[in-house]
A and B are shown apart, each in its own frame.
Chain A
């Protein structure tokens, strides 16, 4: 199947919207591996949150589920504004504005990202073929986001970068949930988001603690237990 068939005209607009939002999700996750500055990293995270909100709106229109609009608003407020802003302020407060990790070179990181995306698409094949449809077709993007989030978590030193990786991971899980099952019930969704917010706030406090103890937020300094 070298040249796939053209899209049906009636679903073309929705397919374009899906491709735009999921493409943006994937692109912002991949570019995270390229950017060294933490403020650039947090603004990419804000764009990713906005793309996730756009994806939820597209799913809401496609599935005809009005309560998803409320979820979209929640996603927009939390993931495109509050969490990136908190992270940005943490980055400013703790002084580290550059990710200086040399564990993985940005070039190698980008190529890893391409590889992980391919793996995600291959691994999600059974999922896509189980219920073929325009929504499940883009679900592998969520899986790719999860893998890229793990990559960021593994390769970055700074506390803020770790948080960014964690939020990417959560965005990936949310993407898979919205695309495969039209989202979880609203109350569960609110619970999960509040949970993520709490994690970010707690880790932010932890980062300030680290800053006051070690003078930096490099996680490699955490080699022994202290009380």
Chain B
């Protein structure tokens, strides 16, 4: 479905669309380590610590990229899965309408494709955890898949609720409709679906009430347990892909909540504004998440399904309510 009538499916628009997609991937890839730096720095400052500055994750990544990975004998996937994870994260960022809502047929930004790509990344990291053959790896993978199985239906139902008033499951069409009618952002359907979506994004990216990204406590860790055996370059790719995924998903939520600044047609000026807008939005969203995390403790693993069931019911009620407002 073409989102904007001004764009005819000819060669120029395809070139523009490809340029926008490539630009989007590059900007998000460059921003994601800085985003993590900002989030950590916000946390440190609020806890009264000085912190290493916002460039530390970038420096870590560059350091890891130069190091040779150590692979135990018999482990086959450790060289492949980090690259596969980075590939799915880049694909996810390419599919989401983060900078422009102009779509090209090559890149279907349909909701179901996006959820499929999300799940692909989840499976890749779970395989990485299982392949190392250690107790922690398997435990982390099993926990991660449990959470993923509870998260994916909520993502689908929440975005479905947002797509009902628009009449299309293409994410770019949803963002377009929100720019055209800003009142719809504060409608009860949209608020319920956004709250549900925020909870599942937090769960999907392993942030605080669900998983603590800064500890290696064996009883609770999920993400860290799966990547314990990765080292050197491989660890760098794994970390980068999960940061990129976080940046993309935060950008999606930010664009659904505050759709302004997204380019609706192709021009150099529009894209420049869109780059600035998405960087500011992702940074603000990340700082907000980090600030809220300071006040949260990790919930017990057995209470995570409770939280996710609540978010599912909210998304479900959003769908029921969206049939009420018609």
Contact = CB atoms under 8 A, between A and B. Distances in A.
Interface of A: 3-7, 15-16, 18-20, 22-24, 26-27, 30-31, 34, 105-107, 110-111, 113-114, 117-118, 121, 137-138, 141
B317 A19 contact: no
Given A107-B305, A107-B306, A107-B309, A30 B323 contact: no
B313 A30 contact: yes
Given A19-B188, A30-B317, A138 B324 contact: yes
A27 B325 contact: no
Which 4 pairs, one residue from A and one from B, show the smallest C-beta to C-beta distance? A4-B326, A23-B188, A3-B167, A107-B309
A113 B323 CA distance: 18
B161 to A, nearest CB: 12
B165 interface: yes
Given A19-B188, A19-B321, A121-B320, A111 B167 contact: no
Nearest to B326: A4
Contact of A16 (B164, B316, B325): B325
Given A4-B323, A19-B187, A121-B320, A34 B306 contact: yes
Given A5-B326, A15-B325, A117-B317, 6 more contacts: A6-B165, A7-B325, A19-B189, A23-B321, A105-B306, A110-B313
Nearest to A4: B326
B309 A111 contact: yes
Interface of B: 164-165, 167-168, 187-189, 192, 305-306, 309-310, 312-314, 316-317, 320-321, 323-326
10 contacts: A4-B164, A5-B326, A7-B326, A16-B187, A26-B320, A27-B314, A30-B313, A105-B306, A113-B313, A114-B316
Contacts of B305: 107
Main secondary structure of the interface of B (DSSP, over half): helix
A60 B306 CA distance: 38
Most chain A beta-carbon neighbours within 10 Å: one of B164, B168, B321, B324: B324
A139 to B, nearest CB: 10
A111 B164 contact: no
A187 to B, nearest CB: 31
A117 B309 CA distance: 15
Contacts of B164: 3-4
A27 B192 contact: yes
A184 B42 CA distance: 56
Nearest to A109: B309
Contacts of A137: 324
A106 B313 CA distance: 12
Contacts of A18: 324
Contact of B317 (A5, A7, A15, A23): A23
Most chain A beta-carbon neighbours within 10 Å: one of B167, B189, B320, B321: B320
Contact of A19 (B168, B312, B313, B324): B324
B7 to A, nearest CB: 23
Contacts of A23: 188-189, 192, 317, 321, 324
Contacts of B313: 30, 110-111, 113-114
A26 B187 contact: no
A114 B312 CA distance: 9
B320 A117 contact: yes
Given A19-B188, A114-B313, A114-B316, A106 B306 contact: yes
Contacts of B310: 31, 34, 110
Most chain A beta-carbon neighbours within 10 Å: one of B168, B188, B309, B313: B313
Contacts of B312: 110-111, 114
A110 B192 contact: no
A6 B166 CA distance: 8
A74 B320 CA distance: 29
A68 to B, nearest CB: 21
A114 B308 CA distance: 13
Nearest to A121: B320
B104 to A, nearest CB: 24
Contacts of B323: 4
A113 B321 CA distance: 15
